[in-house]
Structure 1
Amino acid sequence: MAVHRRPHALALSALLLGGLLIGQAQADEQRPDPRSPASRTHYPLVIDNCGHELTFEQAPRRIVTLGQLESELLLSLGVADRIAGTAVWFGPVRPPLRQANQTVPRLSEDVPSFESVTRLRPDLVAAQFTYHLGAHGEVATRNQFEQLGIHTWVSPSDCLGKQVTESSNSDGSRSRPFTMAVIDQEITQLARILDVQARGQALIDRLHQRITRAKARLALPEGSDKPTVVYWFSSPRLQGDPWVAGNDGAPGVISRTLGLDNIIDSSQEWPAVSWERIATLDPDIIVIADMNRRRFPADDVRKKLDFLHHDPVARELDAVEQGHIITVGAQGLNPSMRVVDAIETIGRQLADFRAADS
């Protein structure tokens, strides 16, 4: 892992000279009329998904989603009435989607059983993470569902350019960096499958507009040092090595957009790195994940904050002493549409730090 130079004191201010990020207008959630003939899907439709060829004779009518990305994507496409059940949630649904989400049955906040999914008689099961439908799937294998005539879908963000091994505790590694183009691809493909292509394109356009605004307001002046950052997702135990972001996952998109320099130089998605190592690199900013999940002690954001302020090593970090700690929803640190939310949240907090330091 490379050691990065500490930015000059004014680097954080220079980064945000353009001003605050503006909030996302409710109009961003409005959808166009999808009834144009050019927007319709022609069946049968054949699509490759993570190396699996899928043939749809018609648009799925009963879908079970395993993961917040898939759930929010379908809600954003306006097909809440087709979601028979949902599971695997890290946090609350986006505010503009709350009303539609209230009509969707929640199977579980975490991983549901195979039986509870099949009981809903879905014609499509869509998973955010490979390990839910992988060779040793936490829910079941893709083959088990397909033997029952149920199509399966895994988010391309968790298979394209990514390798997951059964022994990995870092959520896999990437052979090429994740980009939002992968999310564009998934939106496009699911919109085709569901015969709502115009809505899919409108959703992609909204996401790109928000990213463009963020870049325009947070451009780092030429020659300036980049503020350094570490992203802490969780830990198997608070005093143990935390799972922090490598360079090539969703936090990489955030860093590149906002002009930040991740101190952890790794292709692994969430490698375990000691606090002593983090202290040596001493980041200017710490981003921590907030989530509803409670599988590990450090899932609780309050415990993370308490640790940072009381652990003999962590409390000496410059970011802790300066109060440069930013909390974001965990889903914003996973490859998903919520990466854009994280960019906006982190941008606003960085602006507050700039104002306080000026």
Structure 2
Amino acid sequence: MKIISVSAVGLAALLLVSGCGADDPAPARAASVNVTNCGQNVSVAAPPQRALSLEQNATEILLSLGLADRMIGTSYQTDPVLPELRDEYERVPVLAARYPSREAVLDAQPDFVYSTFTSAYAGDAAGARADLRKLGVPAYLSRFACEKPADGQPVVNFDGLFAEITEVADLFGVSDRGARLVAAQRARLDAAVRAADAPADTSVLWYYSGTSTPYVAGSGGLPAAISTLLGVRNAYGDAKQTWPAGNWEQIAERNPDVIVVADLTRGGDGDSARSKIDFLRSNPVTAQLDAVKAGRFITVSGSSMDPSVRSVAAVEQVSAGLAELPR
């Protein structure tokens, strides 16, 4: 069996471009910056100096903007940090293995809090954004994860991701760095789309986690956006949920041409790419899938399946993997 695991292309170049301004002083700014974020006002009177990121994707966006020296904490690392960001990441204290409590957040005295997941602002985590704002702490949330979907952008696309990176850069007074990072990512995205080479009507199953109950990519999420860009058909594109629970008999009926497996490092059932592939080969139902028999697998990191600075790398990996798959 041939297993395709394509490494991220051009990550070093991306961080070189985005990090080249990391030592540039933030421009002076007399006026505050105000944005409407997921239906709430987020205002900073001056560029934040004590930022707290509540999970890895937010952490890596801030680090890619060269803001390690303005971060007083991170939390919820789900994958090894990108190698190009590791040195910067190690300069930032880790407040919690998962989400810090509201008390831990307030004890850290942040002047800005950022997450790309709604769960970070739950009552048993950092607490509601509105409550933090009342305490003078602006709390930013990804437009793809708003408490009320109608207040944000419920369907993921790369324009929205780049707009979020730009907005965060503006809030921190590093608009030039944001522009460089977005330009580098757009160039890589365009190159990956141009290189896409998949047979007509190729169906792709995006397999995220689980063996007894497989969780797969449905509509509206990043895998759906990547499928559209690369001209392939999402095997669960008809599902209304972003990450529906599938079942193996139904997957066997759909018989995808290619399976993209998420490589997760958290150690749960069917999390790692290897455990997924081993299961697919040993399970009597899935062993008969055309993709399994032909070894048509593509591996991407689990965190790259959510909107982040890793998302373009996922497009590159899948594009390159499709071109190399056995036909």
Contact 2:255 2:289 in 1 (8 A): yes
1:192 aligns with 2:170: yes
**Quick check: 2:209–2:216 contact (8 Å CA) kept in 1?**
yes
Q: Please identify, of 81-90 and 103-112, the stretch whose mean Cα deviation from structure 2 is larger.
A: 103-112
TM-score by length of 1: 0.81
SS of equivalent residue, structure 1 residue 326: strand
Match of 1:170 in 2: none
Aligned residues of 1:87 and 1:111 also touching (Cα < 8 A): yes
1:258-273, aligned counterparts within 5 Å?
A: 258-264=230-236, 265-273=238-246
CA–CA distance in 2 between the matches of 1:108 and 1:303?
27
SS of the residue aligned with 1:271? coil
The one of 3, 6, 26 equivalent to 2:12 is: 26
Residue 95 of structure 1 pairs with residue 70 of structure 2:
no
State the 1:59 CA deviation.
Answer: 1.0
CA contact (8 A) 1:210 1:340 kept: yes
Greater shift after overlay, 151-160 or 50-59?
A: 151-160
1:89–1:292 Cα contact (<8 Å) kept: no
Cα distance, 1:36 vs. partner? Answer: 9.9
Matches within 5 A, 1:59-138: 59-134=47-122, 136=123, 138=125
- Tell me how far apart the structure 2 counterparts of residues 44 and 322 of structure 1 sit (CA, whole Å): 57
Structure 2 distance, partners of 1:346, 1:151, is 37
2:179 equivalent to 1:201? yes
- 8 Å Cα contact 1:34/1:196 also seen in 2: no
- 2:126 aligns with one of 139, 143, 159: 139
Asked whether 1:227 is paired with 2:202, we answer: yes
Q: How far, CA to CA, are the matches of 2:188 and 2:153 in structure 1?
A: 27
Asked if the contact 1:109/1:293 (under 8 Å) is kept, the reply is no
Identify if the C-alpha distance between structure 1 residues 272 and 298 changes in structure 2 by more than 3 Å, giving closer, same or farther. Answer: same
Among 269, 281, 305, the alignment partner of 1:333 is 305
The alignment status of 1:311 with 2:275, answered yes or no, reads: no
Instruction: State the alpha-carbon separation in 2 of the partners of residues 351 and 262 from structure 1.
Output: 17
1:130, CA displacement in angstroms? 1.1
Cα distance in 2 for residues equivalent to 1:122 and 1:38: 19
Question: Shift of the alpha carbon at 1:272?
Answer: 0.7
Give me the whole-angstrom Cα distance separating, in 2, the residues matched to 1:65 and 1:118: 13
Q: For the structure 1 residues 228 and 258, does the alpha-carbon distance in structure 2 shift closer, same or farther, using more than 3 Å as the test?
A: same
Deviation at 1:227, TM superposition (A): 1.2
Residue by residue over 1:295-340, the C-alpha shift from the partner in whole angstroms, topping out at 9 and shown as x without a partner, is x423343332222111121111111111112221011111222111
- Counterpart CA distance in 1 for 2:252 and 2:75 is 37
CA distance in 2, matches of 1:149, 1:21: 42
- Give distance in 2, aligned partners of 1:89 and 1:35: 25
TM-score computed with the length of structure 2 as normaliser: 0.88
Q: Name the SS for the 1:60 alignment partner.
A: coil
The aligned length equals: 319
CA distance in 2: counterparts of 1:22 and 1:92, whole angstroms = 14
Question: How far apart are the structure 2 equivalents of 1:161 and 1:246?
Answer: 20
| Structure 1 unaligned residues grouped into runs of 5+ | 1-19, 165-173
Matched-pair contact (CA < 8 Å) for 2:144–2:155: no
SS at match of 1:157: coil
3-state SS in 1 of match to 2:144 = helix
**Residues 117-176 of structure 1, C-alpha deviation per residue, up to 9 Å, x if partnerless?**
222111111111012215x56432223423432221111122399479xxxxxxxxx985
Distance (Å, rounded) in 2 between the aligned partners of 1:40 and 1:178: 34
Residue aligned with 1:85, SS: strand
Q: Which amino acid aligns with 1:345?
A: Q
2:146 aligned residue: 159
Unmatched 5+ stretches in structure 2: 1-5
| SS across alignment from 2:246 | coil
1:290 maps to amino acid:
D
Deviation at 1:49, TM superposition (A): 0.8
Q: Tell me how far apart the structure 2 counterparts of residues 144 and 118 of structure 1 sit (CA, whole Å).
A: 11
**Residues 22 and 177, structure 2, Cα contact 8 Å, conserved in 1:** yes
User: RMSD between aligned alpha carbons?
Assistant: 2.8
Partner of 2:255: 282
1:323 equivalent to 2:295? Answer: yes
Contact 2:52 2:114 (8 Å CA) reproduced: yes
Alignment partner of 1:148 is 2:135? yes
- The percentage of counterpart residues that share the same residue type is 33
